[in-house]
């Protein structure tokens, strides 16, 4: 039990309140050794002043008998009961988990909402698949169309060059045919001369 010695300062005295709570008097008020709080009692033990203060008890039970409960706050059970909904209203009912849509929800309504949610989910998946397929088809269609248009444009722009190239090839072929024909005629003439020489001899 904390206490102060006689030769210490006056503000070092301590108070024991209800044998449990201890306060340092120097933090609240300068008191002399003869000061006694209201309702307190001074006891001197071994040269130390002990001040005991009896605190009033908040709740006491003097006697108990089974009986009617008396509410001192003015709350009546009938008023509380008015705020409780009828049990038949919530029969066969469920409650939403979401706080934003909290309230009674019948089994049929919940099943309908579940089906609607599933339909919306599948519809969203199908739309996403169609969007991806449409994008792919549009890509290939655009690619093929661009390739065809590019080929047509190149052929149109290159038509004069192609015509000149074909003419050049035709002339080369004609010259080659003429050369071959000339070579055949030469060899034929040589062979005829050889045969004529052999016949003469």
pLDDT in tens, 115-164: 998 999 999 999 999 999 999 988 888 888 888 888 888 888 888 888 88
Where do the domains of the chain lie?
10-53
Nearest Cα neighbor of 48 from 101, 95, 6 is 6
Q: What average pLDDT does this structure show over 178-201?
A: 84
Percent of the chain at pLDDT > 90 equals: 7
pTM over 0.95, yes/no:
no
Rounded to whole angstroms, how far apart are CA atoms 130 and 103? 38
Residue 53: is its pLDDT beyond 70?
Answer: yes
Percent of the chain at pLDDT > 70 equals: 60
Residue 74: is its pLDDT beyond 50?
Answer: yes
For the CA atoms of 27, 30, 31, 36, the dihedral, rounded to the nearest 10 degrees, stands at -50
């Amino acid at each position: 039990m904390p206490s102060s010695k006689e030769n210490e300062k006056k503000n070092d005295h301590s108070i024991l309140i209800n044998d449990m709570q201890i306060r340092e008097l120097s933090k609240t008020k300068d008191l002399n050794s003869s000061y006694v709080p209201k309702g307190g009692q001074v006891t001197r033990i071994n040269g130390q002043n002990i001040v005991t203060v009896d605190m009033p008890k908040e709740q006491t039970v003097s006697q108990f008998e089974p009986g009617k409960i008396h509410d001192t706050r003015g709350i009546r059970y009938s008023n509380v009961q008015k705020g409780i909904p009828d049990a038949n209203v919530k029969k066969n009912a469920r409650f939403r988990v979401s706080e934003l849509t909290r309230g009674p929800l019948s089994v049929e309504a919940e099943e309908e909402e579940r089906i609607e949610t599933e339909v919306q989910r599948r519809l969203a998946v199908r739309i996403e698949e169609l969007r991806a397929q449409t994008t792919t088809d549009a890509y290939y269609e655009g690619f093929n169309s661009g390739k065809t248009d590019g080929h047509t444009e190149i052929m149109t722009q290159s038509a004069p060059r192609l015509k000149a190239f074909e003419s050049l090839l035709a002339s080369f072929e004609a010259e080659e045919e003429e050369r071959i024909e000339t070579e055949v005629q030469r060899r034929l003439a040589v062979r005829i001369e050889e045969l004529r020489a052999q016949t003469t001899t």
